[in-house]
Structure formats: structure tokens, C-alpha cells
Amino acid sequence: MLAPVVSDQEAFRKEVKDFLREHWVAVGSDRNVAEFRKAAVDRGYVYRSIPKPYGGSGQEPDAAKAQIIREEFDKVRAPRELYGNGPGLLVPTLLACGEDWQKEMFIPKTLTGEYRWAQGYSEPGAGSDLAAIRTTAVLEGDEWVINGQKVWTSDAHNAIYMFILVRTEPNAPKHQGISYLLLDMRQPGVTVRPLKQITGESHFNEIFLDNARTPKDWIVGKRGEGWTVSRTTLVHERNHVGASMGSTDLFNKAVQLARTTNMNGRPAIQDPVIRDELAKIHGMVAAHTAAGEHQLNLQKAGQEGSPSTGAFTKLYGSGISERIGLLAQKIMCEHAIAEPTENAGGPSRWVRQYMNSIAAQLGGGTSNMQRNNIAERALGLPRD
């Protein structure tokens, strides 16, 4: 009898399933995430694009395999790559622009989560116009001496390092006077003050730099090239901010809210206005998901998508989040008076979502900056 023909993809899926059964499902409550992730790196399942010497698994890009891994890991809720400023933003930048010793020193421990990073970009006077930063760094002997203020630095209260944009060439034109430095935050010249958001939570910080110091060679790229170096990071940020899977999850929760909340004496989901709005958002989510599939198809075929894919996806994600926030407010009626609370269920969760959907229009480049990107890159209209 002939052996059954199994496609390469099916064989790979079985391999991933077997790995997960042995290393995650069977281990049960004794799980150690760090050990599991190390085993997943060894097998080539996570950090696939990062070379082996830096703690990645150094695999050839393969969108089909990456999708199978994502699907199978998610099915059993196994942890994949760490997210956040370090793995998501700094590592790709170092890989593209860093010195070998910088990669060796910072990447491996960032991937395991041992080194956490803050992003020192925005300033009180430099938001959308990021190149207007005024924080300065002056070389004194073997050290940069840094003075100024950063704002909207996420995770700074947990981070031990920061990648920071500073002005090192005060006489150069705006974009050519900036350098990209790395900085140890554990020093007296660095003060972290939490920012309180409209939800009452604090996930961002203000950073005050008062003669903070960092070694001369902790610079990524050359002096005055920081703007170009930082663009690498922003490209990566926009690709992971707006993924359509988040839209789908949030939408499914909104359907659940409509099922379980009474409105005018019946479940809200039976109300024609609510049904129409749900179906409208469902169309937006379906389009966003299809656009993601299309991108995946292009990747598999080795083709480039629109130069504004990141901008489009961010507008869709934040737009859907906003529509869902407004719909939740409508469904909840008087319950929408609840105080927003982190990690709470019920109305508090949705009031928080309503408010957070405002942040979605701002963080990672405002919606109007995405429109500029689309107008200039995808449509070829004149620059501002």
C-alpha cells in the first residue's frame, strides 16, 4: 500500500502541533514561559527573521509557515514572540542599522525580556512634527551628555534602557541634526514621572533628562543620521499597531455585549438600529481581514504591496475601534455612566474601550499623519 500523500504544509502543521503537545499542552500548570520560548526558538518557530547568533531562529522568510505557526500557537494559547518596544521596535532597528557588538550586546537579552526598553521620541513641542525635537546631546570626552524632556514614553517605568532621539548637530537642517542613542535609565540624570490618562490609568511617562550620560559608541547609525534610523523603527511600529485580528476579537466581544445587554426591554441585538450598525462594522472588519489576507498572498508571492499599507491598516484598526466604542455606548444606555476600570468586566470595560479608542487615533502617528502618508506615498500628491 502506498503511503498517503501529505503536502509540505500539512506535514509542517503536524510538526508544529506535535511540538506544542509535548512542550506546552502536556506540561500543563508547570509551564515555564521562558523555557518554552527557548525551545520554540530552537525549533525555528519564533523570532524567525532574527539571526541565530542574536537569539533568533534565523529562518528563511516563509509567509505560509509563519501563518501555520501563528494559528497553531494561538489555538492552544501558547506564547509566541514578546511584543513591546524592545522586540518590536529596537531589535529591527539594530538589525538594520546597528554595529555587530551592539547587536550581540542588546538583542539576545531583549528577546528574552530581560532588557526592557522605553522609546524616547516625542517631546512637548515635537509630536506629529517629530523632527522638531529639542533634547540635546553634547559629546564630552567619551560620553554624550543629554539634556531635555521626553513625553509619551510607554513602559518607561518598567524599562532599564531607552532608545532616544536627540539633537547633536544644532547647526544642521532640522532632519539632519538628529542622532539615535541608547541610554541606561538607571542613573541620577534620568527622572521618570507617570502621565495620567483620561481613563485614570498610567501607561505612559514623562522623562526629564538632566545631564544624563551614555557612552560615545552607544549611537545607532552615524551622527546626524538618527532621523533615517528612526524611520526603520516607525515602519515596524505601524505594521504591528493595526493588525486585523485585534479588530475581529473586539468585534466578537461587541456582539456578545449586544446579546447580553437589554435595551428597551429586549436584548440589544434584536434592535434593528443595533443590528444595522453591527452589520456595518462587520463589513469593515471583513474588509480589513481580507486586506490582511491579500498582504499575506503578496508576501507568499514575493511581491510588494502599497507603500502605505501600514497607514491604511492603522486607519482601519483605529476606525473600527472607534465605531465599536460608539456602538457600545449606544447599547449600554445609562450603564455607560460607569467609571472606566482596568481589568474589569461589564460596563466599566466598555467605557474604558470607548476612551482608549481615542488613543488609537493618536498613538503611533495620528490619523491625520496616516492621511498625509497615504496622500503623499500612495497617491503621489505634493508633500506638506
Q: 53, 175, 255, 262: which one contacts another protein (CB under 8 A)?
A: 255
Stretch that binds another protein, among 82-90, 234-242, 272-280, 343-351 (CB under 8 A): 272-280
Cβ distance to another protein smaller for residue 9 or 202: 9
Q: Is 110 helix (H, G, I), strand (E, B) or coil?
A: helix
CB 315 to another protein: min, Å: 5
Q: Assess 374 for contact with another protein (CB under 8 A).
A: yes
- C-alpha 323, offset from chain centre: 21
Find the catalytic residue in 72, 237, 293, 334: 237
DSSP string covering 132-199? G---EEEEETTEEEEEEEEEEEETTTT-SEEEEEEE--TTS-GGGSEEEEEEES-STTEEEEEEPPTT
Cβ distance to another protein smaller for residue 142 or 304: 304
Cβ distance to another protein smaller for residue 91 or 327: 327
Q: 228, 341, 348, 372: which one contacts another protein (CB under 8 A)?
A: 372
Residue tagged 521596535 (cell numbers)? 89
Q: Assess 381 for contact with another protein (CB under 8 A).
A: yes
Give the pairing of strands 204-215 and 190-195: antiparallel
Scan residues 296-335 and list those touching another protein (CB under 8 A): 297-298, 300-301, 306, 312, 315-316
Q: 95, 131, 286, 358: which one contacts another protein (CB under 8 A)?
A: 286
**Euclidean distance between the first and final Cα of the chain, in Å?**
70
d(CA 2, CA 15): 21
Residue type, 344: A
Q: Assess 293 for contact with another protein (CB under 8 A).
A: yes
Q: 105, 126, 235, 291: which one contacts another protein (CB under 8 A)?
A: 291
d(CA 287, CA 291): 6
Cβ distance to another protein smaller for residue 220 or 369: 369
CB 276 to another protein: min, Å: 5
Are the beta carbons of 59 and 49 closer than 8 angstroms? yes
Residue type, 189: G
Cβ distance to another protein smaller for residue 132 or 255: 255
Stretch that binds another protein, among 111-119, 220-228, 322-330, 365-373 (CB under 8 A): 365-373
Q: 294, 307, 339, 342: which one contacts another protein (CB under 8 A)?
A: 294
40 conformational bin, left if phi > 0, alpha if psi -120 to 50, beta if neither: alpha
Residue type, 221: G
Q: Assess 258 for contact with another protein (CB under 8 A).
A: yes
Cβ distance to another protein smaller for residue 182 or 315: 315
User: CA-CA distances (angstroms) from residue 120 to 123, 182, 196, 309?
Assistant: 8, 10, 18, 25
Q: Which cell numbers in the block locate residue 364?
A: 503611533
d(CA 315, CA 319): 6
Q: 38, 282, 330, 335: which one contacts another protein (CB under 8 A)?
A: 282
Length of the chain: 384
Number of other residues whose CB lies within 10 A of the CB of residue 344: 14
Q: Assess 368 for contact with another protein (CB under 8 A).
A: yes
Q: 18, 128, 290, 307: which one contacts another protein (CB under 8 A)?
A: 290
364 conformational bin, left if phi > 0, alpha if psi -120 to 50, beta if neither: left
Q: Assess 380 for contact with another protein (CB under 8 A).
A: yes
Q: Assess 378 for contact with another protein (CB under 8 A).
A: yes
CB 288 to another protein: min, Å: 6
d(CA 5, CA 15): 16
Cβ distance to another protein smaller for residue 3 or 279: 279
From the list 125, 104, 138, 126, the residue with the least C-alpha distance to 213 is: 138
Catalytic residue list contains 237:
yes
CB 371 to another protein: min, Å: 4
Binding site for another protein (CB under 8 A): 255, 258-259, 269, 272, 275-276, 278-280, 282-284, 286-288, 290-291, 293-294, 297-298, 300-301, 306, 312, 315-316, 368, 370-372, 374-376, 378-382, 384
Active site residues per annotation: 237
